[in-house]
Amino acid sequence: MPELLATSLPEYIATGLKEVAQEQGFTEGLYRLESESGSNMGDGFVGQLLKVFIREADRELVVLCKLLPESEMRKQQGIPLFDRETEAYMQILPLLTKFQDEKALAKHLPRFDNVPRCYYAKTTLDKMESVIIMEDLRLQAYRMWDKANPVDFEHARLLMATLGRLHALSFAMKDQQPEEFAKCRAFEDPMGKMLELDPTKGFEVMMAGMCRRAIETLDQHDNFRREKLKQIQDRCVQEIVACTDGKAAEPYAIVGHGDCWSNNMMFQYAEDNKTPSNIKLIDWQLSRYGSPVLDLVYFIFNCTDEEMRSHSYQRLLSIYYQSLSEHLHNLGGDVERQYPRIAFREQLKKFGRYGLVMSMMVLPIICTPNDELPDTDTAMEGFMNDMNNGNTNAELAYGTTEKAAIRYRKRMSGCIRDTIRYGYI
């Protein structure tokens, strides 16, 4: 049963809920708040969800409150990401969608409206407080794909078309309203801020360990690919920083989602309950101003498998580019002038390795079922203890069961083979 919350909520959460209740027409003093946990084990790695019911007489509004982790260590790691997501929901996404609305697109034309409604978001860095209050998409029959399985073509196709429209907003606004768009240019990579707060270089050690683990998925005699990866083993963090540098992507940098893997999107389905009809992009904590290809390669290399890429990789890229071209045209732009195909191909060559480097970090989590994942706080604390004790080969323990390990070896080795085949490293 939901627990009554009115008196037990921290003030900053209660303040946000009060503002939402007033904006939605609830009567002060007459409505009540009740809550229950809003997430399942393994759904979110940088935060917790609280499902809140705002009730008055026969009326009810259900919202999700996204909160910082309880662990102090992870709270410090997560606060820059919550700050970014707050900025995304309250400033950047409204700016881009306002530009789209002003175009008064014909009703039959597609538009980018693929984010959940955010009622309220506020992050206070010095107090280490953050709350993001949004609609619960599950009430509209949205659901997540099972992350342990590679997505099928229809789900991938829908995401590529959606990313095309999202990126088109930046290209159009950047060209037509450069002064307003300047706010988006300042949307720098949030991971850089996290790395600045990492004096122990723990992230570098962690990434080196994950790269070693990735290398071991290759055949023992595959010296060519093993050597390729060993060359970036100790500079994975530098590779991430280089790939996410917005200035290096100019004049083609856009506002992207930044964390495009299957747990950060929810799908609504057609009557057959199998074919996705709509998609919402959630979790904007890594959204940034950077190359358009980052969202594409992050998703394709982490959420599809080698078999699908063998026959659909170029097709997915074409679906993205066609969607970008059409939406940009509808917004008054011109893809051949603003992002010609040759520039798209060059950006893939320049930044395509980002998909591989991120897969070293994300695939162990993707390949491990939620009920087999270690507790995130315990895993992080164990890793940090190893670091503090001088273990330069410390590794974050994910994907420990044999079934998960088999799945990881297949997906990771395929990711490496394709990245090299496409000439990205």
Q: What is the pLDDT of residues 120-171, one digit of tens each?
A: 999 999 999 999 999 999 999 999 999 989 999 999 999 999 999 999 999 9
378 vs 374: CA distance, rounded Å: 7
Contact between 83 and 121 (Cβ < 8 Å) = no
pLDDT of residue 91: 97
414 vs 297: CA distance, rounded Å: 14
pLDDT of residue 200: 64
346 vs 324: CA distance, rounded Å: 17
Task: Assess whether pLDDT exceeds 60 at residue 384.
Answer: no
Q: What is the pLDDT of residues 359-373, one digit of tens each?
A: 999 999 899 887 777
pLDDT of residue 75: 87
Task: Assess whether pLDDT exceeds 50 at residue 184.
Answer: yes
178 vs 14: CA distance, rounded Å: 38
Higher pLDDT, 4 or 54: 54
Structure tokens belonging to residue 29: 């003093």
Task: Assess whether pLDDT exceeds 70 at residue 1.
Answer: no
Taking residues 73-96, report their average pLDDT.
93
pLDDT of residue 202: 80
pLDDT of residue 313: 98
Task: Assess whether pLDDT exceeds 60 at residue 192.
Answer: yes
Taking residues 389-415, report their average pLDDT.
77
Q: How far is CA 415 from the centre of its chain?
A: 19
pLDDT of residue 262: 93
The residues, any chain, with a CB within 8 Å of residue 28's CB and separated by 6 or more, are 22
Contact between 168 and 100 (Cβ < 8 Å) = no
Cut 0.85: pTM above it: yes
Q: What is the pLDDT of residues 201-224, one digit of tens each?
A: 788 888 999 999 999 999 999 999
pLDDT of residue 347: 98
Instruction: Give me the residues paired with residue 134 across strands.
Output: 64, 118
Q: What is the pLDDT of residues 22-76, one digit of tens each?
A: 999 999 999 999 988 876 544 545 578 999 999 999 999 999 999 998 888 888 8
Q: What is the pLDDT of residues 295-325, one digit of tens each?
A: 999 999 999 999 999 999 999 999 999 999 9
Q: What is the pLDDT of residues 240-299, one digit of tens each?
A: 999 999 999 999 999 999 999 999 999 999 988 889 999 999 999 999 999 999 999 999
pLDDT of residue 71: 82
